[in-house]
């Protein structure tokens, strides 16, 4: 049994495939509209700002801040039991988009809104590497 067996793993789709490939290469990939410069996440066919179909992929800085968070003290399933308590957070990337992730590598009681964080990557299966966030140093 691996540490992540039984967890709910994302299933890459044609629209998210590049994102998950990036994570496997330790790169946080987000979309950028070449027409208006808007960055977006999650991946979509069209720019959410100007509706252009000219959306490209760029590597994000990996830096952001905690926009909101909750501390999970009761695991949703046994697969998460060893990790409680853990933090689920909305991370606002420096580029603008918000994504949901975990804040790891620090005491859960130290996590706060506005906290600067940086991305790290953790392989949860052969196919899925998860982008996690930790306090920025």
Contact set with Zn ion (CB under 5 A): 33, 35-36, 38, 47, 49-50, 52
Q: Give min distance, CB of 68 to Zn ion, in A.
A: 26
CA distance 65 to 98: 9
Is 56 or 107 the residue whose CB approaches Zn ion more closely?
56
Is 50 or 81 the residue whose CB approaches Zn ion more closely?
50
Q: Give min distance, CB of 30 to Zn ion, in A.
A: 13
Segments of the chain assigned E as strands: 29-33, 39-40, 55-59, 63-72, 86-93, 98-103, 116-123, 129-135
User: How many other C-beta atoms lie within 10 A of the C-beta of residue 53?
Assistant: 10
Q: Give min distance, CB of 55 to Zn ion, in A.
A: 7
**Would you state the structure tokens that stand for residue 84, as one six-digit string?**
């409680």
Is 38 or 66 the residue whose CB approaches Zn ion more closely?
38
């Amino acid at each position: 049994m691996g540490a992540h067996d039984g967890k709910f793993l994302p299933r890459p789709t044609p629209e998210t495939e590049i994102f998950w490939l990036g994570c496997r290469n330790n790169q946080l990939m987000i979309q950028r509209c070449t027409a208006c410069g808007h960055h977006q996440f999650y991946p979509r066919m069209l720019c959410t700002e100007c509706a252009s179909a000219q959306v490209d992929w760029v590597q994000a800085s990996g830096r952001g801040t905690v926009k909101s968070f909750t501390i999970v003290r009761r695991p949703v399933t046994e697969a998460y039991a060893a990790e409680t308590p853990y933090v689920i957070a909305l991370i606002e990337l420096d580029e603008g988009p918000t994504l949901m992730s975990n804040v790891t590598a620090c005491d859960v009681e130290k996590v706060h809104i506005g906290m600067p964080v940086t991305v790290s990557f953790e392989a949860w299966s052969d196919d899925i590497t998860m982008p996690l966030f930790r306090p920025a140093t």
